[in-house]
Every structure is written in structure tokens, then in C-alpha cells.
Amino acid sequence: MISAHDVSFAYGDTLVLDGARVSAAPGRVVGLIGPNGSGKTTLLRTLYGALAPKAGLVTMDETPVGGLKPRELARRLAVVVQEGSGELPLTVTETVLLGRAPHLSTFQRHGREDYRVAAASLARVGARHLAGRVFAGLSGGEKQRVLIARALAQQADHLLLDEPTNHLDIRYQHEVLQLVSRLEVTTVVVLHDLNLAARYCDDLVLLDGGRVAAAGPPDAVLRAEVLEPVYRIGVQRIDTGEGVQLLFRPLDPVPEGVSV
């Protein structure tokens, strides 16, 4: 379990998080949703220790994250961020092997077990056939699979992802999130697409201006009366046989003569 307890954070005098609470139970997928600038990525960064809260506490299995040594934290928590792919001329196998670093001592070279774990991680995300390819030459969806494989190679039981479907087409968006939902690790994921969040998340946390506006299962959070005041857009909810589908419309027409 990973939790944020009344976490606040500010960039200078600008308060970005204000008493945010999040709790991801073992094996659950928790989606962080909300408008641009609501604090989603900042909250995620406090969860994996990249940012120290101004107030409040982040814990993993009841241990303060700030008190964990970097190597210990990396063995228990894996992160996939948007800017983390890089364009170095590494093969897919070499990229995944980077996830084994927390398990190696200084100057220790990768051994047979590391290669076995890397191969198993690639197989788990359906990317074993990409092992010899250069990472930079992959498609967006393939890169995301490899980055998730690298996270799995850490053998951590907590996984945090920042907008893993960004810049992916519809097919790869669903493939990546379906993969994440089946990993059976404790997962927190930042998402913009509410329909994807409805389909693949067990729980949602809706942020608005750095505060938690609503939290709970998708059925409870993804309601017009909850979403419309936050997103300032009309919401129509359709309950299908496969879950919730949301349709959106402007609340007010754009006045004549006003450009957008």
C-alpha cells in the first residue's frame, strides 16, 4: 500500500497541493484524474519521493517514503514517467536491464539472473520479440511496453505511471492500460481520458486546484454532478454493459465574435 496523508506542496509561493489524501491498496489500480494544473503529476512525484511535501506524509506499507534509502525505495517502487525514455542508442534488452540496477552493487555487471528477469519482463508485456531492436526506433506503444518491462525488472510491488497513454493512438492506449490493469501490483496512474479511467481503474481520485474533490470507485466519481463543477463542461453518463461511458458538451456556447 502507498498513501499520501494530508500532503501539501508549493512551488515558491504557489500552493499546488493542499491537504491531498490518496491511498492505493495492494493490487489495486488507482487513477489520478483532474483538469490541467490540478496537481496530478505533482502528487505523483511526492508519492515516489521526487518532491518532499511541504506538509503531510507519504508512506509505503506504513513506512515513510522520505526515510527510505534510494536503493531500497527502487527495489519496492518503480516509476514510468513521460520524460524518462531518452533516445540513447540502447537496445530494448539493455533498456530493460536498467531496471536491475537496484539489485546490483557498485560496478557489478549484469549476470545470468538479470538477463532472465529482463527476458521474463519483456515476455510479460508481450514485447519479447523486440529484445534486439534499438529502443529509439520503436513506436510509441512499443516504447511504453518496454518502459513498463523495465519497471517490472525492478521486481517492485508498487508501480507509478505519469500519463502512460500520452501521444498513443486509441489501440495502444487500450493495450497499455489493459496490460497495466493485469499486472497485479499496487498501481497509481495519472490519466486525462476519463473513459479510459472508467474502464481500467479500480479507484479514482479527482483533483481540483490541488485538493481532492472526490475519491472512490469509478461509479461513484464519474457522475455529472461531481465532474461538471470541476471540469466546467457538461457531462452525460451512459451506463453500458461493459461499464460507464461519458459524453461531453460545452456548458455555454461561445459568444459571437469571440475567437477560440
Please name which of 159, 225, 233, 163 lies closest in space to residue 192, comparing C-alpha atoms.
163
pLDDT value, residue 260: 53
Fill in the DSSP letter of residue 101. Answer: G
Q: Which domains does the chain have, with CATH numbers?
A: 2-249 (3.40.50.300)
Please report the pLDDT score of residue 215 as a whole number.
97
Stretch (H or E) spanning 97:
helix 92-97
Q: How far is CA 18 from CA 12, 59, 213, 243, in A?
A: 14, 17, 11, 32
Task: Kindly tell me if the per-residue pLDDT of 257 is higher than 90.
Answer: no
Q: In Å, what is the CA distance from 83 to each residue of 5, 163, 231, 235?
A: 27, 11, 26, 32
Q: Nearest 10 degrees: CA dihedral of 100, 101, 102, 108?
A: 110
- What's the whole-number mean pLDDT along residues 231-257? 84
155 secondary structure, DSSP code: T
- Average pLDDT for 143-160: 91
The answer to whether the beta carbons of residues 59 and 2 sit under 8 Å apart is: yes
pLDDT value of position 105: 78
Band the pLDDT of 165: cuts 50, 70, 90: confident
Q: Give yes or no for a contact between 44 and 162, defined as CB atoms under 8 angstroms apart.
A: yes
- Whole-number Å distance between alpha carbons of 139 and 234: 35
How confident is the model over 51-75, as pLDDT tens digits?
Answer: 999 999 999 998 999 888 888 898 8
pLDDT beyond 70 at 83: no
- Rounded to 5 degrees, φ, ψ at 112 are -60, -40
Compute the distance between CA of residue 245 and CA of residue 196 in angstroms, rounded to an integer: 9
Least confident interval from 12-16, 27-31, 224-228: 12-16
Check pLDDT > 70 for residue 4: yes
| pLDDT for position 253 | 65
* DSSP one-letter string for 191-258: -S-HHHHHHH-SEEEEEETTEEEEEE-HHHHS-HHHHHHHH-SEEEEEEETTEEEEEEE-SSPPPTT-
